Amino acid sequence: MNSTQRIHFLDFSRSVAILMMLQGHFISMTLDSYPFFMDQVRQTGSSGSIAFSIWGFFRGLTAPLFFTISGTVFTFLLHKEWQKNLVPFFKLNRVHKGLKRAASLLLIGYLLQINLKYIPYYFRGHFNPHFLGFHILQCIGFGLMLLLVVTFLISSLKKYSWLIYLLISVAIFSITPLIRLHVGFFPEWAPQIIQNMIKGPETGFSIFPWIGYIFLGAGFGHYITIFGTGTAFRNIYRFLFLIASSFYFIGWVLTFIYSDNYVDFHYRYFWAFDRTLFISLMLMCFTYISQFERWRHPYFMAVGQETFTIYIVHAIILYGAITGFSLRSFLENKLSAAEAILGATLFLAFFIVLVQLLEPIRQFFRNLRSILKAHGNS
């Protein structure tokens, strides 16, 4: 796998992940029967609908895939630069970019939880605890910072970083049941903003198990910088197959150690290991498909390069982040299945078109800034 093929594979995977997220969020928010199906799942373990169950299965893979790809891309670019530039770790350009990206994810993640409609209530002392919630952007940002720290600490073992990343992923997944089984919020002594990172009243995506997927992706990302050269697609497939089988096996071994109620306990607390199996299989498919140019339409591939922007815009439009005005106000659980599918299709089309307009928009503002700067100097 040469450098160009690697970039194709990474962009292809990111495009799939963000498009899966967009349709999943739109349909779950607008489908009129969504609450009914979810109640069925909670009460009986099955939605009673084959179509909904298949859709729900793949929707359940969206976040793990998104986290895994984030770790893969970040680590691949970091180690790729490190191979070319034998300089101290903190002098790497990619480290500086990584710290900025992680900080921006944390900052924007919290800013998106501000609702301008309620500003007057804030001034009256009515604080909304939702602002302290720990959701996907904060979790990825914190995970990338932790990944940088770990990479620095194991720099003397750089060749084996991929293995250490995977072991950390296993450790995080293994500890998760201990956190989930803890009665009440955790840590009990910590302020709410810290509790939300692990187990708190406003926890969306907790460190356990979600950051485990970032380290899973980091292991894969580092592996392809070392072994994914030339015609080494076979190495990639073997590696992903090894991850899939190993994590699945470890998950069940730990289940037998933790509990006598094997099946229920496994799917309740060790689902992260199972999803690693399916994520690995999906990445195998993406690696293969992305080799063929006919599957790499420029519009589709461009989506994978703008995931951060897409997420922010979708949060504003769909959920009313910051503004408080959204499609949710008009469409929540009000569309039939056919209408929700059509709406999701149009929603995806909107973002595909938006991505094509982003560079011209950015160029316009760059030109405007240059004109204003030149005018100010004259």
Q: What distance in Å separates the CA atoms of residue 53 and residue 357, rounded to the nearest whole number?
A: 36
From first CA to last CA, the distance across the chain in angstroms is: 52
pLDDT by position in tens, the chain (length 378): 555 555 788 889 999 999 999 999 999 999 999 999 999 988 888 888 999 999 999 999 999 999 999 999 999 999 988 888 778 888 899 999 999 999 999 999 999 998 887 777 777 777 777 888 999 999 999 999 999 999 999 988 878 899 999 999 999 999 999 898 887 888 889 999 999 999 999 999 999 999 999 999 999 999 988 876 544 567 888 889 999 999 999 999 998 888 777 777 888 888 999 999 999 999 999 988 888 888 888 999 999 999 999 999 999 999 998 888 889 889 999 999 999 999 999 999 999 999 999 988 888 888 888 887 777 666
**pTM, rounded to two decimals:** 0.93
- SS (HEC) of the chain: CCHHHHHHHHHHHHHHHHHHHHHHHHHHHHECCHHHHHHHHHHHCCCCCHHHHHHHHHHHHHHHHHHHHHHHHHHHHHHHHHHHCCCCHHHCHHHHHHHHHHHHHHHHHHHCCCEHHHHHHHHCCCCCHHHHCECHHHHHHHHHHHHHHHHHHCHHHHHHHHHHHHHHHHHHHHHHHHHHCCCCCECCCCCHHHHHHHECCCECCCHHHHHHHHHHHHHHHHHHHHCCCCCCHHHHHHHHHHHHHHHHHHHHHHHHHHCCCHHHHHHHHCHHHHHHHHHHHHHHHHHHHCCCHHHCCHHHHHHCCCHHHHHHHHHHHHHCCECCCCCHHHHCCCECHHHHHHHHHHHHHHHHHHHHHHHHHHHHHHHHHHHHHHHHHC
Q: What pLDDT shows up at residue 3?
A: 54
125 DSSP assignment:
T
Q: What distance in Å separates the CA atoms of residue 214 and residue 102, rounded to the nearest whole number?
A: 13
* CB 191, CB 121: distance < 8 Å: no
Q: What is the dihedral of CA 299, 300, 302, 306, to 10 degrees?
A: 130
Measure CA 212 to chain center. 11
Phi-psi region of 218 (alpha: psi -120 to 50; beta: other; left: phi over 0): alpha
Q: What pLDDT shows up at residue 105?
A: 96
